[in-house]
Structure 1
Amino acid sequence: MEPRISLLTLGVRDLARSRAFYEALGFVASSSSNENVAFFRAGGVVLGLFGWDELAQDAGVPPAGDGFRGVTLAHNVREREDVAPTLAAAQAAGGRIVTPAHDVFWGGHNGYFADPDGHLWEVAWNPFFPLAADGSVQLPD
């Protein structure tokens, strides 16, 4: 297997609400989107939104489940000062701030928000992982 993530699909309870939330954050829906699914370019990855029950059915698992799911998505920012305004933008779009912006033990600055379906997003400034011009994280070798 070639190591890569091509698409992240989030199960959502109300596709129109979730699509509007991500569009309010600046994501632009692809023309491949329709009333049953939404796709957004997210750097080198695609973010997909699909009905919660339909996604569970597609994966062959029960749709029950809430609370912490053992997964977070991350949006890294270029400057420490960008964390709080990014969290505020998510809240203004209909998200919920879970953890306000704060300095963290590893030397960065972060906070978390939940989208309308409870999917957790970390907003982080990491001084050890600078961003390239295209927004991609630059990991050391």
Structure 2
Amino acid sequence: MEQRVSLITLGVADLKRATAFYAELGWEKVETPDGIVVFDLIGQSIGLYPLENLAEDMGVPVERLGTGGATLAHNVSSREEVDGLVEAAKSAGAEILRAPSEVFWGGYIAYFADPDGHVWEIAHNPLSPLAEDGAFRWEGFGET
């Protein structure tokens, strides 16, 4: 697994309130499907996602997420890379929360918790291809 974070997703109780907070900090959101808000950062993105939806995506009860529900996302270039990294994580002692599978927005994801309980999402997002150096940008880098 490369040493990078692609997308930090924060589970929030009130998406509108959380969006207003980050907008107040001067962050500009990017175009996204309804139900998630994303801000591109330098070299990665941060997403705000309703806490209940985040728990459902992981396949765990919302109570397990506590008050600071978050995932650290590592995006890859293919579904096969998702499968391979999840197997490597399992071998290293991770708890698999959601086996690799398709998701409603057209991608392919899995979730695992490291031995300390930090949750990682491994994702292939065909709508956001990675740069040659592995850098992530919501909806990709476009033509160069």
TM-score category of the 2 structures, normalised to the smaller one: 0.5 to 0.7
Shift of 1:120: 0.6
1:87-117 alpha-carbon deviations (Å, 9 max, x no partner): 1101111111110000111000001000001
2: CA distance, partners of 1:100 / 1:108: 14
- Please name the residue that 1:67 is paired with: 64
1:53-64, aligned counterparts within 5 Å? Answer: none
Task: Letter of the 1:134 partner, please give it.
Answer: D
- Please name the residue that 2:89 is paired with: 90
2: CA distance, partners of 1:77 / 1:85: 11
Identity %: 47
1:24-39, aligned counterparts within 5 Å? Answer: 25=1
Deviation above 3 Å: which 4+ runs of structure 1? Answer: none
Gaps of 5+ in 2: 6-42, 45-62
Shift of 1:138: 2.8
- Please name the residue that 2:98 is paired with: 99
Structure number with the bigger relative contact order (C-alpha 8 A, sep ≥ 6) is: 2
Gaps of 5+ in 1: 1-24, 27-40, 46-65
Q: Give the alignment's TM-score, normalised by structure 1.
A: 0.52
Task: Letter of the 2:82 partner, please give it.
Answer: V
Task: Letter of the 1:42 partner, please give it.
Answer: R
Task: Letter of the 2:74 partner, please give it.
Answer: H
1: CA distance, partners of 2:137 / 2:4: 16
2: CA distance, partners of 1:111 / 1:118: 15
Over the residues paired in the alignment, what is the CA RMSD in angstroms?
Answer: 2.3
Task: Letter of the 1:100 partner, please give it.
Answer: A
Task: Letter of the 2:114 partner, please give it.
Answer: D
Q: Give the alignment's TM-score, normalised by structure 2.
A: 0.51
- Please name the residue that 2:76 is paired with: 77
- Please name the residue that 1:111 is paired with: 110
Shift of 1:80: 1.6
